């Protein structure tokens, strides 16, 4: 079994883009100094795993679910609350992750067994209701979860910012606990992504695609569509739970806004569509572009607004005001979907096929 499970990116442009993003993330602490750049890189790693796990459900199984952010929140709260209650130890971290994974599996199994029997929009509405109920529950149980304020917690000593692995700097960068936390997030996200890639390229993944295309034909051929969709829901939930745990560990904080906000679900859906559904490599491109734009577009617009004001140009300073960055971000992704309906991966593959 090769690391890419026999499914490398197709096309030189796609390969170059994937390699560029992976190298940038692998060397981010050394290439892009500063707390903001490292935070952007860590969030990108988390979002790649979260988007890839959702693409397993949406792009491969053809199941539209709005409960993915709930599993993300379960992972974040599981690790965060356990570290808050027990203390900053590796045992608490492992226990929180195991408890979160078990709860996510139970929830995913319940959703799969009781909700996948309804079709399309009805299933989406059921998952939306479940996710919303979980959000309300986390906000109301203030004695346990901290309510709207959330919980801040400490991490094991090795991952604390004050920890120094070596006294001397490596290529001008101090190897602190923050750097070690980043590489822990990067390594776990990379391994989990490769495992998801193996799943979609296995016979199980091929059956999922067959069910997505024609569930009645797949069932007539003897495949148990209910079993495969439920298993895909469980695997997708585990990926989202792990992503939530990593994000909580990186932030050293967990709260409704960072773990259970419905805007996270919308962002994930946008990243899947822009990157390309039905291709896990689309998760890498979609997440990297979205997080980068989300983090730096507002600053770029501030520079454009000031430049336009300095040049005495009418309307442009107000048009490029930093407060309107969401408008331009939305417009950019609308154009991306319009000109590349199959996503960036699909467009690059089609271009490679023509050449």
Mean pLDDT of the 120-149 span? 85
Q: Is the pLDDT of residue 68 over 50?
A: yes
Tell me which residue has tokens 């319940």: 110
With cut-offs at 50, 70 and 90, classify the pLDDT of residue 264. Answer: very high
**Does residue 236 have a pLDDT over 60?**
yes
Nearest in space to 4 (alpha carbons), one of 198, 191, 190: 198
In what helix (H) or strand (E) does residue 178 lie, and over which residues does it extend? helix 177-200
- pLDDT at residue 287 is higher than 80: yes
Q: Read off the pLDDT of residues 181-194 as tens digits, 9 standing for 90 and up.
A: 999 999 999 999 99
Q: Which domains does the chain have, with CATH numbers?
A: 12-354 (1.10.3470)
Rounded distance between C-alpha atoms, residue 243 and residue 104, angstroms: 12
The mean pLDDT value for 228-247 works out to 94
Calpha distance 257→263 (Å, rounded): 9
Q: In this model, does residue 126 exceed pLDDT 90? A: no
- 84-121, pLDDT tens digit by residue? 999 999 999 999 999 999 999 999 988 877 766 666 67
Of the chain, the percentage scoring pLDDT greater than 90 comes to 46
- In whole angstroms, give the CA distance from residue 312 to residue 21: 38
Q: Across residues 134-163, what is the average pLDDT?
A: 89
The pLDDT of residue 351: 67
pLDDT level of residue 352 (50, 70, 90 thresholds): low
Q: What is the pLDDT of residue 250?
A: 96
Rg (C-alpha) for the chain, rounded Å, is 21
CA 136 to each of CA 129, 148, 245, 330: distance values in angstroms, whole numbers, following the listed order: 11, 10, 20, 28
Angstrom distances, CA of residue 276 to CA of 180, 226, 298, 342: 32, 25, 25, 6
pLDDT at 1: 46
Residue with more model confidence, 84 or 167: 84
Yes or no: say if 319 and 331 are a contact pair by the CB < 8 Å rule. no
């Amino acid at each position: 079994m090769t690391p890419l499970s026999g499914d490398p990116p197709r096309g030189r442009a796609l390969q170059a883009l994937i390699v560029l993003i992976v190298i940038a993330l692998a060397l981010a602490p050394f290439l892009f100094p500063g707390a903001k750049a490292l935070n952007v890189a860590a969030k990108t790693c988390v979002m790649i795993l979260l988007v890839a796990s959702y693409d397993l459900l949406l792009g491969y199984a053809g199941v539209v679910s709005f409960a993915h952010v709930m599993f993300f929140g379960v992972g974040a709260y599981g690790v965060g609350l356990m570290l808050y209650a027990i203390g900053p130890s590796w045992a608490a971290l492992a226990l929180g992750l195991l408890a979160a994974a078990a709860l996510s599996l139970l929830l995913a199994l319940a959703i799969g067994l009781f909700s996948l029997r309804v079709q399309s929009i009805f299933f989406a509405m059921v998952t939306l209701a479940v996710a919303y109920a979980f959000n309300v529950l986390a906000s109301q149980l203030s004695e346990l979860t901290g309510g709207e304020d959330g919980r801040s917690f400490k991490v094991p000593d090795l991952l604390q910012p004050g920890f120094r692995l070596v006294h001397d700097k490596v290529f001008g960068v101090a190897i602190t606990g923050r750097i070690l936390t980043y590489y822990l997030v990067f390594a776990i996200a990379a391994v989990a992504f490769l495992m998801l890639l193996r799943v979609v390229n296995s016979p199980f993944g091929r059956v999922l695609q067959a069910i997505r295309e024609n569930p009645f034909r797949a069932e007539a051929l003897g495949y148990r569509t209910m079993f495969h969709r439920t298993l895909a829901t469980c695997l997708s939930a585990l990926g989202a739970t792990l992503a939530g745990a990593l994000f909580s560990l990186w932030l050293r904080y967990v709260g409704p806004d960072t773990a259970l906000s419905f805007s996270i679900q919308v962002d994930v859906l946008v990243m899947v569509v822009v990157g390309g559904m039905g291709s896990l490599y689309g998760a890498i491109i979609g997440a990297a572009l979205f997080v980068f734009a989300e983090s730096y577009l507002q600053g770029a617009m501030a520079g454009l607004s000031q430049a336009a004001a300095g040049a005495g140009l009418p309307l442009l300073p107000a048009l490029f005001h930093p407060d309107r960055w969401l408008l331009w971000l939305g417009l950019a992704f609308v154009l991306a979907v319009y000109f590349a309906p199959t996503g960036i991966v699909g467009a690059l593959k089609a271009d490679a096929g023509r050449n």
